Amino acid sequence: MSDIWQRSLNIILILFFTAVLWVIFGAVSALIFCSIILLSLVIHHTRHMVALERWLQVSDHSAASIPAGLGAWDDIFAHLARYVRNHSQNQELLSLALERMQSATSAMPDGIVILDDNDRIEWCNPVAEQHLGISLHLDAGQQITHLVRQMPFVEYLAARKYSSPLLLRQMRHQRLTLSLQLVPYGYKQKLLISRDITRFERIEAMRRDFIANVSHELLTPLTVISGFVETLSTDNNADSGINKRALALMSEQTRRMQRLVEDLLTLSRLENEQNKVSDKTIDVVNLLDDLREEAELLSAGRHRIIVNHTSDDHLVGSEQELRSAFGNLVSNAIRYTPEGGEININWEVQGGRGLFYVQDSGIGIEPEHIPRLTERFYRIDSSRSRETGGTGLGLAIVKHVVSRHQAQLEIVSKPGQGSRFNIWFPANRLASVKKINILNDQESVGSNQM
């Protein structure tokens, strides 16, 4: 309130002196005096406003450049100078923090790109410029999809699902393999992190090639050895019980090595991303009949095999891969179910999705083991696995087949109460018998017309 009264005091004094002059010299003199005083005030304020406007128009807004003022304008300019000094200090602190952040991110081995809510580039470090072929000086403000035009990256941005990274290969003809991860932060901003995983990809490819090559090299001599062992085992001259026992063990171990090599080859083929799924329409009901025969042969009458299907829908996928995955689940159920147990093989459609599952009445699985069951060579009980003849790769093969068919593997088990392995297939992997018949009729009509 003191500032208001101080500012009003000048007006009160002007009115007071005007009234005194009015009484002493008359109205004309009083009005002339009041007009001169008011004109002086207008000129005074106009001059200071022009000075303020000129200061606002110049680029140097430092406190030192603020014009001097008289009267009330001196206080206004003093407050403005204090505000400018504080603002400059804050700007210096922010610039220092930004420089430190940029220096830290520039020293990182990963590429960093800051994107706004419209996916425009706000800033990037030199590593990101090398990875993505962009330039902060030239491309700031540009949409990143105009510069990185690979369709998987464009779809990754559009999907707005950043929980898992995206792999991009051969960026800008540099034969790089990049792992890209988007992290939302701030106000609708995103942090794009790029990591060069070319070396790791090459190591993984070398590992796959090594497994595939070694497996191929082992398969031929094993086949030869297995043939000779089988011949010697059936030779009537091998009368010695010790020889027969030795040949039987050799034959058993040879078959086991053959299964291991075959599983390694299958796993290597499934892991090769260049090997795309060869989609065909598969009659699941016929496949279940084949699985029943294989299960009865493997069980040799020791288990009750039950096959059910409540749907005649077909599956679209690789018959060889799906047969391998289903067969692995069935053989595992037989191996880990005691004699007299029950094996259920089922095919049905629930909620628009296909469901294949194998349920057994076997020994069950402890909860802590379930998340690791699909790891290659993971064994709950190594001695029991050796007794049952498993290779430790069956569920790893199942996991890869399921992933290649955009399906989901679900494992439900309790110790002593058996296990159930569910494979859920998406709706686009189902083909109804009616639709298949219509397509076949159309093809037959078309061939007849030709």
Determine, yes or no, domain membership for 103.
Answer: no
Query: What values do phi and psi take at 140, rounded to 5?
Result: -60, 130
pLDDT score of 347 more than 90: yes
Q: Are residues 417 and 333 in the same domain?
A: yes
From 10-14, 102-106, 271-275, 434-438, the region with the lowest mean pLDDT: 434-438
Q: Look at residues 244, 398, 281 and name the one whose alpha carbon lies nearest to residue 333.
A: 398
Q: Per-residue pLDDT tens for 117-176?
A: 888 998 888 888 888 888 888 888 888 888 888 888 888 888 887 778 888 876 555 678
Mean pLDDT for 42-57 is 81
What's the confidence (pLDDT) of residue 252?
72
CA distance 343 to 327: 13
| Arithmetic mean of pLDDT, 173-180 | 77
Using CB atoms within 10 A of its CB, is residue 424 exposed (0-12), middle (13-18) or buried (19+)? middle
Total tally of structural domains belonging to the chain: 4
Closest CA to 408 of 351, 363, 360, 446: 351
- pLDDT for residue 24: 80
Q: What is the pLDDT of residues 247-281, one digit of tens each?
A: 777 777 777 777 777 777 777 777 776 677 788 99
The per-residue pLDDT for 69 is 74
Average pLDDT, integer, range 72-100? 80
Whether the CB-CB separation of 343 and 337 falls below 8 Å is answered with yes
Local confidence band at 70 (pLDDT 50, 70, 90 cut-offs): confident
Q: Mean of the pLDDT values across residues 278-285?
A: 89
- Residues 296, 389 within the same domain: yes
Question: What is the rounded CA–CA span in Å between residue 134 and residue 102?
Answer: 17
Residue 155 vs residues 46, 87, 166: alpha-carbon distances, Å: 60, 43, 10
Report the distance separating Cα 187 and Cα 314, nearest Å. Answer: 48
Q: Indicate the range of 276-280, 338-342, 401-405 predicted with least confidence.
A: 276-280
Query: Does some domain include residue 226?
Result: yes
Q: Verify that 114 and 155 share a domain, yes or no.
A: yes
How far apart, in whole angstroms, are the C-alpha atoms of residue 232 and residue 247?
7
Per-residue pLDDT at 60: 66
Phi and psi angles of residue 303, each rounded to the nearest 5 degrees, phi first: -135, 160
**Single-letter amino acid code for the residue at 286:** N
Q: Are residues 305 and 377 in the same domain?
A: yes
351 shares its domain with 245: no
Phi-psi region of 26 (alpha: psi -120 to 50; beta: other; left: phi over 0): left
Question: Which tokens is 432 given?
Answer: 């109804």
Provide φ and ψ at 226, rounded to 5°.
-60, -40
Looking at the structure, tell me whether residues 261 and 288 fall in a common domain: no
Q: What is the pLDDT of residue 411?
A: 93
Please check whether residues 245 and 370 belong to one and the same domain: no
64 pLDDT higher than 50: yes
Instruction: Examine the fold and report which residue of 155, 174, 196 is the final residue of a domain before the chain moves on.
Output: 196
76 occurs within a structural domain = no
- Asked which of 10-24, 38-52, 212-226 is least confident by mean pLDDT, the reply is 212-226
Mean pLDDT over 384-413 rounds to: 80
Whole-number Å distance between alpha carbons of 358 and 423: 9
What's residue 433's pLDDT? Answer: 63
Count of helix runs (H) and strand runs (E) in the chain: 13, 13
Amino acid (one-letter) located at 310: T
Centroid of chain to Cα 294? 39
Residue 207: inside a domain, yes or no? yes
pLDDT tier at 235, thresholds 50, 70, 90: low
Q: Report the C-alpha gap between 45 and 43 in whole angstroms.
A: 6
Residue that is written with structure tokens 């068919």 in the block: 405
392 pLDDT more than 60? yes
Mean model confidence pLDDT for the chain: 79
Which of residues 38 and 306 earns the better pLDDT score? 306
In a domain, 3, yes or no: no
Asked if 245 and 328 sit in the same domain, the reply is no
Closest to 168 (Cα-Cα) out of 204, 135, 139, 193: 193
d(CA 76, CA 62): 15
Side-chain-facing half-sphere of 264: CA atoms under 13 Å: 20
pLDDT of residue 412: 92
Percentage of residues in the chain having pLDDT higher than 90: 18
Confidence of residue 1 (pLDDT cuts 50, 70, 90): very low
Domain hosting residue 14, numbered range: 8-34
Q: What is the C-alpha to C-alpha distance for residues 392 and 378, in angstroms, rounded to an integer?
A: 6
Query: Is residue 104 domain-resident?
Result: no
Q: Which of 171, 196, 221 delimits the end of a domain? A: 196
* CATH number for the domain harbouring residue 123: 3.30.450.20
Q: Helix, strand, or coil here: 104?
A: helix
Does residue 192 share a domain with residue 207? no
pLDDT score of 445 more than 50:
no
- The letter for the amino acid at 393 is L
Whether 100 is covered by a domain: the verdict is: no
pLDDT at 422 over 60: yes
- Tell me the one-letter amino acid at 78: A
Q: How far apart are CA 151 and CA 157, in angstroms?
A: 10
More confident residue, 447 or 183: 183
Give the domain-ending residue among 242, 271, 300. 271
Q: How far apart are CA 148 and CA 154, in angstroms?
A: 8
Positive or negative torsion for Cα 331, 332, 335, 341: negative
Q: Write out the H or E segment, with its range, that includes residue 411.
A: strand 408-413
Of 249 and 414, the one with more pLDDT: 414
Shared domain check, 355 and 253:
no
Indicate if 267 and 367 belong to the same structural domain.
no
Tell me the whole-structure pTM to 2 decimals: 0.52
CATH of the domain at 329: 3.30.565.10
Q: Is residue 42 a part of any domain in this protein?
A: no
Mark whether 430 and 285 lie in a shared domain: yes
The pLDDT assigned to 243 comes to: 67
Distance CA 215, CA 393 (A): 14
